[in-house]
Amino acid sequence: MMFCMTSRTSLQKIIIAVFIISTALMAWYIFSAYRETSSSIVIPSITTSTAPTKATDRAFINVGAHASTAKPGSRWTVLMTAPAWAKCMADVYNPSGQVQIFENTQDAEATTTAAGQFKWTWFVPANAVKGQWTIKLLCGTFDNLAATDVPVRVE
Single-letter amino acid, residue 58:
R
Using a cut of 0.85, tell me whether the model's pTM lies above it. no
3-state secondary structure of 20: helix
Domain that holds residue 9: 1-36
The verdict on 57 and 30 lying in the same domain is no
Query: Which carries the bigger pLDDT value, residue 86 or residue 47?
Result: 86
Helices (DSSP H) in the chain: which residue ranges?
2-35
Query: pLDDT category, 116, cuts 50, 70, 90?
Result: confident
pLDDT tens digits, 12-70 = 778 787 778 877 777 666 666 555 444 344 455 555 445 554 545 888 999 999 999 99
Residues 6 and 53 in one domain: no
Which pLDDT value is given to residue 55?
A: 43
Indicate if 76 and 144 belong to the same structural domain: yes
Identify whether residues 145 and 105 lie together within a single domain: yes
Q: How many domains does the chain have?
A: 2
Whole-number pLDDT of residue 57:
80
CATH number of the domain enclosing 140: 2.60.40.1930
Helices (H) and strands (E) in the chain, counts: 1, 9
Q: Are residues 86 and 12 in the same domain?
A: no
CA dist 100 to 42, 108, 118, Å? 11, 11, 21
Q: Mark whether 22 and 75 lie in a shared domain.
A: no
pLDDT at 31: 61
Instruction: Give every CB contact of residue 16 below 8 A, 6+ residues apart in sequence.
Output: none
